[in-house]
A and B are shown apart, each in its own frame.
Chain A
Amino acid sequence: MKKIFEKIQVGILAGSSLVTSLTVILIIIFLFSEGIGMFHESQLEEGYVLTVNEANPVTEIDATSIKNIFDQNITNWKQLGGKDEEINLFSIDDLSDFYSDEQVGSDLEYLDTCMNDYVKNHENTLAYFPRKNLPENFHGKEIQVGSISVYNFVKGKDWLPSASPVAQLGVLPLLLGTLWVSLGAILLALPFGLACAIYMAEIAHPSVRKILKPIIELLAGIPSVVYGFFGLIVIVPLIQKLFHLDVGETALAGSIVLGIMALPTIVSIAEDAIRNVPNTMREASLAMGASQWQTIHKVVLPYAKSGILAGIVLGIGRAVGETMAVLMVTGNAANIPHSYLQPVRTIPATIAAELGEASYGGLHFKALFALGCILFLFTMILNIYVQLVLKKKRVK
C-alpha cells in the first residue's frame, strides 16, 4: 500500500516536470512555425492582385521593386526586364477616367468587364485591384509577388508592415534600435552597478550592506510599467529640455530607463561573484603590502571576472527583452538610429504595439512572430554564453 502511494507521488513529480518541459517546447515550436511561415507568404496586400497585359514578358516582381514602382522610382518596364515602355499604373479608382458610369454600371456590376478590357488593351499597364474583381476569363496575366527572403528580412531598412500594396518588412531598424538601447543601458548601468557591487562586497560595513542590498533588490521588483511611467514623466522631459529637442522620447531615454532596470541584476550577480572570492586571496594580497584598492583591483576583480561577466550578460538579456518601459519612452519610430537623441523602436516594443492591429494569420502577424524568434535566439545565445563562462570557471 505504502509502495503504491510512493509511486503515485513519484508519478506526479515526473508528470509535472514533463508538462513543464512540454509547455516550453510547444511554445518554442509555435513561435518558430508561425515565424518561419512569413517566408512562404506573398508580400502583396491580402485580397489584392497585380496584373499585366498578356504580352508583357514580366511575370514576377519583388516587393522592393513594387514599392519603387508605386513611389515612382521605377517608371519603365525595362528596369524590370521588360520592354522599353513606361509603366502605366492602374488601380480601380482610375477606372472612371476611362469608362463612363454606364459602362461600369450603376452598381459596378460591369467592373470586371472594364478591368478586363483595360488590361487587354494597354500593353504597358500594371493593374492593381481586389481579387474579388478578377474577371472570370481574364485576358491578362497575374504577377507573382515573391515572398520575402531571410536575407531581405534581416537586411531590409524599412519596417512598414501595413504599407500598400506591398508590406515592407525590414528588421534592421528594429534590430539596431534594440541593440542601441540595450548597449546604451549597459554602458550606463555597468559603471554604477560594478561600483555598487564592489562597495557592498568589499568596502561597506556589514550593517550598511544589510540596508543597501534589499533596497537594490527591491529595484528588481518594481513593475516595468512603473519604470516606463517614471521615464515618461521625468526622464523624457528632462532629455527634451537638456538637449533642446522637439521630442524627448529617444534612444537615450530608453537606455536610461533600461539601465536602471538592469542595475539590480548586475549588482547582485557581480556582488555574489566578488563575495565568493576566497578570503585567503585577499589576505595573501594584503599581507604582501598591497593596499585595499590594489587588492580589489589586482586580485579580487580578476578572480571574480567571469561571475561579473555573467552579471553583465544577464543584464543585457533583461534589457534586450524588456518591452513595456521601452515602448513608453523611446518614441517608437522604426528608423535606423543615427544618434541617441533620435526616437527608435525595439523588437519587443514592436511586437507589443503591432500585434493588436495585425490580422490573425496574415503576413504581418507572422512577421511579428519572426521578430519574436530573433529575440528568442538572441537571449538564448546570451544565456548559453553565460553558462559556458560559469562552467569554465568551475572547471578551473
Chain B
Amino acid sequence: MSQLETKNLNFYYGSSIALKNISMAMQKNSVTAFIGPSGCGKSTLLRLFNRMNDLIDGIKIEGEVLIEGNNIYAPKVNVEGLRKQVGMVFQKPNPFPKSIWENVAFGLKVNGIKSTSEINDRVELALKQSALWDEVKSILQRSALQLSGGQQQRLCIARALANEPSILLMDEPASALDPISTAKIEELIYELKEKFTIIIVTHSMQQAARVSDRTAFFYMGELVEYDETKTIFTNPSKERTTNYVTGRFG
C-alpha cells in the first residue's frame, strides 16, 4: 500500500478548476518532486495533503486523498491530528518570534506534551535531524529571528520534525536561500528520506533531479507525467515534459 495516494482528485477555487483528475501514489521513504510552471497547481496539490487549503473560502474538492488508506477528506477526520502526522515546511522561513527552543517545542506543546524532559529530548532530536543542533545547542534561548535565513529554514524543518510526522511536505523550501544554504537543505532532504516520506515542490529542475526519487510534472492543473526522476529527465514519454525539462518553455 502506498503511503499517500490521490484518486481522481479535482479541486476548484470558486468556479475555476485548479486540479484536474489527479491520480498518483507516493511510496514510503521516498522523495517525490513536483515540478511545473507557475500556476500549474503543484503547490495547491501539496497543500491538499495537510488540508491547508481548508483556510481558503469557496474551495471544492472531489475525489479522494488517502494516507495509509484513509481518506483525509472523510467527514469525521481530525484535521489537527492529520497535520501533526503530515508536517509542512514553507517557501519562506517563518519561525515564530520566540526562542529557538520555543519554536521547536511549539508543536509538542500544542499537541499536549507536558513533560519538560520529554520536550527537551525531542527538541534535541529534531534539531539533530535537521542538522542544526551543533550550531544552536548553546543558544537555544536566543530569538530564532537572529539566525541566518538558511538556519531559520532548517529550524522550520526541525519544528515540523519534532511532531514526528510520517510525511513531510516542502513547498519550495530553498527558493529564498543562497546556494550554500540550499545545498545544506538538499543534503538534509537526502538524509531525512530514511525516516520520512518527502514531497517537495520546486522551481529548480536541477534540484528535483538531485534530491528526488520520482518526479511529477504538472501543467495547467493536470498531471502530465509521473515517473522515476531519471526517466523524467532523460527519457520522458510526453513531448510537453521534454520541452519543459529541457527549458524550451516554462
Contacts and interface: CB of A to CB of B under 8 A. Distances in A.
Interface of A: 205-206, 278, 280-291, 294, 298-299, 302-303, 396
A288 B84 contact: yes
Contacts of B106: 285, 288, 290, 298
B153 to A, nearest CB: 12
B96 interface: yes
28 contacts: A205-B57, A206-B57, A281-B96, A283-B55, A283-B88, A283-B94, A284-B95, A284-B156, A285-B110, A286-B52, A286-B55, A286-B83, A287-B50, A287-B52, A287-B83, A288-B87, A288-B163, A289-B80, A289-B81, A289-B84, A289-B110, A289-B163, A290-B80, A291-B110, A298-B109, A302-B98, A396-B97, A396-B145
A282 B54 CA distance: 13
Contacts of A283: 52, 55, 88, 90, 94
Interface of B: 50, 52, 55, 57, 80-84, 87-88, 90, 92, 94-98, 106-107, 109-111, 145, 156, 159-160, 163
B97 A288 contact: no
Contacts, number: 68
A285 B80 CA distance: 11
Complex A-B, nearest 8 residue pairs according to Cβ-Cβ distance, in ascending order: A289-B84, A288-B107, A280-B94, A287-B88, A290-B110, A289-B83, A289-B80, A294-B110
A interface: dominant SS: helix
Contacts of B110: 285, 288-291, 294, 298
A39 to B, nearest CB: 48
Given A287-B87, A289-B80, 14 more contacts: A280-B90, A283-B55, A284-B94, A284-B156, A284-B159, A287-B50, A288-B84, A288-B87, A288-B106, A289-B82, A289-B110, A290-B107, A291-B110, A298-B109
B54 to A, nearest CB: 9
B94 A288 contact: no
B163 A284 contact: no
Nearest to B143: A396
A130 B163 CA distance: 88
Nearest to B159: A288
B13 to A, nearest CB: 16
Contacts of A278: 94
Contacts of A299: 96
Nearest to B108: A288
Nearest to B106: A288
Contacts of B95: 284
Contacts of A289: 80-84, 107, 110-111, 163
Contact of B80 (A291, A298, A396): A291
The listed residue with most B CB atoms (<10 A of its CB), out of A281, A284, A286, A287, is A287
A306 to B, nearest CB: 11
A354 B88 CA distance: 66
The listed residue with most A CB atoms (<10 A of its CB), out of B55, B82, B94, B95, is B94
A175 B83 CA distance: 54
A303 B111 CA distance: 21
A280 B90 CA distance: 8
The listed residue with most A CB atoms (<10 A of its CB), out of B82, B97, B110, is B110
Given A299-B96, A396-B97, A288 B90 contact: no
A396 B143 CA distance: 11
A206 B57 CA distance: 10
A366 to B, nearest CB: 50
B126 to A, nearest CB: 12
A294 B106 CA distance: 10
Given A289-B110, A291-B110, A294-B110, A284 B80 contact: no
Contacts of A287: 50, 52, 83, 87-88, 90, 160
Nearest to A282: B55
A284 to B, nearest CB: 5
